[in-house]
Amino acid sequence: MRFANKSVIVTGASIGMGRETAKRFAAEGAAVLVNYAKAEKDARQTADDIVKAGGRAALCQGDVSKESDAKKIVATAVGEFGKLDILINNAGVTSFIPFQDLDAAGPDVWERLYATNVVGSFLCARAAAAEMRKTGGGVIVNNASIAGQRANGSSIPYCCSKAALIHLTHCLASTLGPDIRVNSVSPGVIDDTRWNAGRSNFDAAKAHASGVEQSLLKRTGKAGDIAAAILFLASDEASFCTGIDLLVDGGRSYKI
């Protein structure tokens, strides 16, 4: 198994891509710290699924945008598993605001999105790097978005936060190498997430059809597609990759 004897943190592992990533790491031998901010029930389900499948998991509540919580998350992983090898910065938030509605994208929206999507990823990476270096190094993978590369997404602040996360990946890779590799993935349209839950006037069937039409592969993505990309970047198979952003969008970026 690729991750036997490895310790992994997956932030925002309650649902969707985070949950699938945590479960796949565990299935390949890793001990996984399941982090959540608010969705305790869902996070416990992720951990329970891992344990029932014969894996090893621990829970840690923490808001990655808070420095004390970021440190707590890392400390909990080290306390539970004895070390930290891999950090997956998956926690993220958004706001659905039409690009044309500039007035709605106020400072509070920018601050909230940047606090989690960018600052939170930095805080967790900084805390993780200190522990990784104690045991010879490690890997960090950030979950960004196609919205960080194209002017298309849930809102302007969200797109800009993900662009910043991609550049943070570059900056950390140049700073933490050679002992710590840092990469990111940029998902396209992913069906099995809760991003659109409660969104007014959202037509799931229409969104799915649009995603299929815009994809060169004529399908939308699944959480498993992103989890597979994350595991690849975290594995020794990607040992010569650092500072890259892996676009996982079915070729959608070539059609918009």
Catalytic residue among 36, 114, 158, 254: 158
Measured CA to CA, the distance from residue 30 to residue 172 in angstroms comes to 24
DSSP assigned state of 66: S
114 a catalytic residue: no
What's the rounded Cα separation, in Å, for the pair 14 and 22?
A: 9
| Cα–Cα distance for residue pair 256/245, rounded to 1 Å | 19
| CB 164 within 8 Å of CB 124 | no
Q: What is the dihedral of CA 63, 67, 72, 78, to 10 degrees?
A: 120
Instruction: For residue 48, give both structure tokens.
Output: 């329970």
Rounded to the nearest 10°, the torsion over CA 236, 185, 77, 31 is -50
Q: Which residues contact 205 (CB under 8 A, 6 or more apart)?
A: none
Q: Which residues lie across from 9 on neighbouring strands?
A: 33, 87
187 touches 249 (CB < 8 A)? yes
- Report which residue type is found at 21: T
Active site residues: 158
